Amino acid sequence: MTQKKPLIVLFQCQYCLASSLDQYWVEQELPENVKRVKVPCSGRIDPLYILNAIQGGADGIMVCGCMPEKCHYKEGNLHARRTLNEFRNFLNTLGYPQERFVFHWMNIDERGVIQPLLASFEERLKRSKDRPRLANRMLNQENG
């Protein structure tokens, strides 16, 4: 029996993964089970987007943003860190396991880290596939 690969939504701040090799990889060679949402800054990511992705059938959420003092817009990521981190805690409290929702705060000059990160995230998702989930929009459609 072939195992379906977990669907991952990658929220990417446009100033992360800025090296041309990484940028080429996420644009051209991203695996099919990873959907990329490019945002101007991690501060643009509303918890609503995360919830929308989860309810749209994503198995895992990965948010890539810049390190605290490295934000292009000076403080967008500070806001993102506070809100998204609390949102993650909150979902965890409601039974949506926090290992399905991860952050990677990275430096601009880091390169070649995204591929192993996604691979290890995928492995962890496969292990936690039986944990509770939130209600899913796609299931609603199937059940009428």
Partner 1 sequence: MPNTRDQKIQAEAKRLLQDGVVDVVIGFQKGTLPYKMQPCFISRADEVAKLTLNGLCSNNLAVYLNHWPKGEKTAIIVRGCESRAIQTLVLENRHARENLYLIGVPCIGILDLQKIGQQELQPVLAVQEEGDQVRVTFGNGEKLFKRNEALHDACLHCNHPQPLNADVVIDEAGLFEDGSFDKSYLHAFRNLSAKKRNEVFRAEAERCIRCYACREACPMCYCEECFVNHSRPQWIDSTIAPSGQQGWHIIRAFHQTGRCVSCGACERACPMNIKMTYLTDLLNQDMAAEYGFEAGLDAAAAPPFLTLGEDKGKFTGEQEEDHAN
Contact residues: partner 1, CB under 8 A: 47-48, 51-52, 55, 68-69, 75, 78-79, 81-83, 85-87, 89-97, 102-106, 110, 113, 117, 120, 131-132, 134-137, 139-140
| Six-digit token string for 91 | 């979902």
Cβ nearer to partner 1, comparing 44 with 110: 110
Residue 104 CB, nearest approach to partner 1 (Å): 6
Q: Residue 49 and residue 46: Cα distance in Å, rounded?
A: 5
Cβ nearer to partner 1, comparing 14 with 115: 115
Q: Under a CB-based contact definition with an 8 Å cutoff, are residues 106 and 69 in contact?
A: no
Q: Residue 60 and residue 50: Cα distance in Å, rounded?
A: 10
Kindly tell me the burial class for residue 140, based on how many C-beta atoms sit within 10 Å of its own C-beta (0-12, 13-18, 19 or more).
exposed
Cβ nearer to partner 1, comparing 1 with 135: 135
Residue 39 CB, nearest approach to partner 1 (Å): 15
Q: Residue 54 and residue 70: Cα distance in Å, rounded?
A: 28
Residue 5 CB, nearest approach to partner 1 (Å): 20
Cβ nearer to partner 1, comparing 23 with 103: 103
Residue 94 CB, nearest approach to partner 1 (Å): 5
Say how many Å lie between the first and final Cα of the chain, rounded: 28
